[in-house]
Amino acid sequence: MQITLKFYFTFFIAISLFTKIFAQDSFVDSLVKVVPTMKEDTSKVKALIDIVWEYASNDSIKAKKYAQQAFELAKKINYTDGIGEYYNSMGNLKYEWSLSSEGIPYYEKAILVFQKTNNLARVSKMYSNMGNSYSDIGKISKAIECHTKAIELSSKANDKRGLAAAYVNIGSVYANSGDYQLAVESLLKALKLKEEMGDKKGIANACNNLSVVFKEQKNYKQSIVYANRALEIWKEMGDEINCAFIYNNLGLVYGRLKDYSQAKASYKKGLDIFERENVKRGIIAINDNLGLILKFEKNYLEAIKCFQKVYDLSVQTNDVKAIISSHINLGDTYLLMNKLDLAYSNMTKAYELALKSNYRNDLAQIYLGFSDYYKAKNDYPKALDYRTKYEELNDSLLNESITAQIADVEKKYDTEKKELQIKDLEQNKLISQLELEKKEQDITRQRIVIVVSVLVLMLAIALAFFIYRNYKEKEKSNQQLQIAYSEIEEKNHLVEEKNKEILDSIFYARRIQTALLASDKLLSNHLPEHFVLYKPKDIVSGDFYWAKSVNDNFLICAADCTGHGVPGAFMSLLGVSYLNEIVRDKAVNSPAEVLNKLRTEIIHSLNTESSEDEYAVNDGMDIALCNYKFNSMKLQFSCANNPLWLLRENKIIEYKADKFPVGKYHGELQNFSNNEIDLKKGDIVYILTDGYADQFGGPSGKKFKYKPLQELLLANHQKPMPEQKQLLDEAIDSWRGNLEQVDDILIIGVRV
């Protein structure tokens, strides 16, 4: 089960509540015994509300019972704020029971009550709670409106604690809706307030939430910094459960970085704490995340153990959502193990529960799982049927989300329209009163008014005639425009359909092109320390990388075909096809000889002897081809226009390329040079295309260039290869800013 950001924030709140209940069981029991003996005053109402909250997540019947008692007593002793707290507790119960839409009217009643007593801090809190409920049911604009109101009221009341909470809440909404920049700004404001108050727990919570948002922004460095700051505070306070929560977050971050050893180590620390404290929801979450890591590593048996643990604990806690998720993950894993019967069994159980509970998002995922299952069974009609069901349901869910947002906007518009109508009526009433008073004060002016009215009427009739004539002319023009608009709309529809067909074809072409590139498995098996930074400009790319293992030889290349997008992709397919044929069928492994034969095949295929030869001259590719002989620590290579860089002892040695492409060009055809160097342990070899250096950006909108690229490689060469790739990716994105990517980008790094 993939844990979304929204689930992450919700889970954090749930863990806090669970630990509170776990730590205070004896306190609740004693409070329940003492309450009947208490005097009927405000203290008893507050005690009853406390009991309601303690029973909120584990006994709905008792929670409602004590809430009703609090309400009756508050009315009896005329305790207005107590009535407001009753409405608040009912709204909270609905939120806790995932009935957020039913809780909103209670918060609205609580707001009216607290406004009567001018309790701004509680009014602000009610708006925050109502905002959380709107967020829970997907009404983002209403949620932001409520949280903004809470910020305004908390500021007015000089309530720093409430203001910080309001900033956290609105930050959560921004994060869940994907507006991470606004989320960071809000959470930083909350952190500043917590620091001013010296609230260590609040600081830790704010740091943790910032860590989550930075993770979703893919700013993993900042995510780890804030997570570790929160971890230090929780350790200092001796709060092991919140430490476990941070370890879970760090595990997610390291998982995103594909540093699976660090991720598993973090999960292990968190799991040890959760198991020691018997926090079942924490155990479920970490086993779920750990299982996904193990599945990625193809350690399927251990992954099964984790998902089975999730299932067992979810059954104990009656968490239907988690039970469905565990069946989906078990089904996916058994499918990867080719245990089709077990995969089908788990998917069927997940389907039955999701259907019964109307969890449509899970149903979409299950349909996708059934499609993969029937594909594995070679039952392609059923596989296609379930794939169609998945796409239809997925589209339906997306449309419902959009419809809900539109309805939200329409409702706001209708409300504002009614308010304006009321104001208009009030203004008209006032005008009538003033006119009446004026007539009563000066009756003699009536004649003047009548005369003026007649003149105005005559003028109005004349004006109406001209308006009517203009109206008829405009009506005729509008009809003509409508006809033209309909024709344009129909043509636009046809264009959109064609565009969709073209895009679908290009996306399918990308799948084909991706399948022809060197696989991660092949590269990892022969190059344990490497990275491939591959950023196509368009959907398909003119840059490609290819690799082949032949006996003691491992050949790999980085190539830049003429053009980019679809034309470049066609050339890349030719290149991959001929490279496979030359190396596999013709048993050629000398880089220079491979390029010579590749050039011959490309010139022959493109029929450059035609009458349009001037258009074919530049068709071909620039390429750097390497042959690693690791047993003898030798590297043979041949380069056409693109160089090879060797990083050794903190220096980059550049090996120049032959200044002609793999393709036809002006001048006499020459053979490519075959170069050989002795490799040393720790050497890093880089081959690349020109896309990175040619990218425009920076303050002056200039090219990045090769020299700064070499400096960037030198500055980070001691870091792990995946981290080097991440830094290169971030650097070029930062340099590019809002400018368009000008060319395909490809850099391959191999550490010996």
Which long-range contacts does 232-238 make (Cβ < 8 Å, 24+ apart)? Answer: 233/200, 233/201, 233/203, 233/204, 233/207, 234/204, 236/200, 237/200, 237/201, 237/204
CB 289 within 8 A of CB 3: yes
Encoded tokens for 538: 């368009």
pLDDT tens per residue, range 248-307: 999 999 988 989 899 999 999 999 999 998 888 889 999 999 999 999 889 999 999 999
Secondary structure class of 628 (helix, strand, coil):
strand
Alpha-carbon gap, residue 427 to 619, rounded angstroms? 76
pLDDT of residue 64: 85
User: Nearest to residue 169, comparing CAs of 192, 140, 198?
Assistant: 140
pLDDT of residue 410: 42
Q: Residue 381 — pLDDT band, cuts 50, 70, 90?
A: confident
Q: Residue 499 — pLDDT band, cuts 50, 70, 90?
A: low
Alpha-carbon gap, residue 486 to 500, rounded angstroms? 21
Encoded tokens for 373: 């299952």
Statement: residue 693 has pLDDT above 60: yes
Please provide residue 518's backbone torsions phi and psi, each rounded to the nearest 5 degrees: -60, 130
Place of tokens 């039970």: 323
CB 253 within 8 A of CB 264: no
Model pTM score = 0.46
pLDDT of residue 415: 46
DSSP, res 38: S
Statement: residue 651 has pLDDT above 90: yes
- The arithmetic mean of pLDDT across residues 117-129, rounded, is 91
Q: How far is CA 320 from CA 59, 358, 361, in A?
A: 17, 11, 14
CB 612 within 8 A of CB 649: no
- The arithmetic mean of pLDDT across residues 614-636, rounded, is 83
- The arithmetic mean of pLDDT across residues 463-468, rounded, is 68
Statement: residue 24 has pLDDT above 80: no
Amino acid at 526: H
pLDDT of residue 694: 92
Statement: residue 419 has pLDDT above 80: no
pLDDT of residue 123: 92
The residue with greater pLDDT, 621 or 19, is 621
Alpha-carbon gap, residue 672 to 662, rounded angstroms? 9
Lowest mean pLDDT among 12-26, 571-585, 679-693: 12-26
pLDDT of residue 540: 86
Lowest mean pLDDT among 326-330, 455-459, 553-557, 653-657: 455-459
Encoded tokens for 114: 């607290």
Place of tokens 């990045």: 704
Alpha-carbon gap, residue 558 to 567, rounded angstroms? 18
pLDDT of residue 408: 47
Encoded tokens for 368: 């996708």
Q: How far is CA 592 from CA 426, 600, 625, 643, in A?
A: 89, 13, 8, 14
- The arithmetic mean of pLDDT across residues 465-477, rounded, is 68
Statement: residue 413 has pLDDT above 70: no
Statement: residue 407 has pLDDT above 60: no
Secondary structure class of 343 (helix, strand, coil):
helix
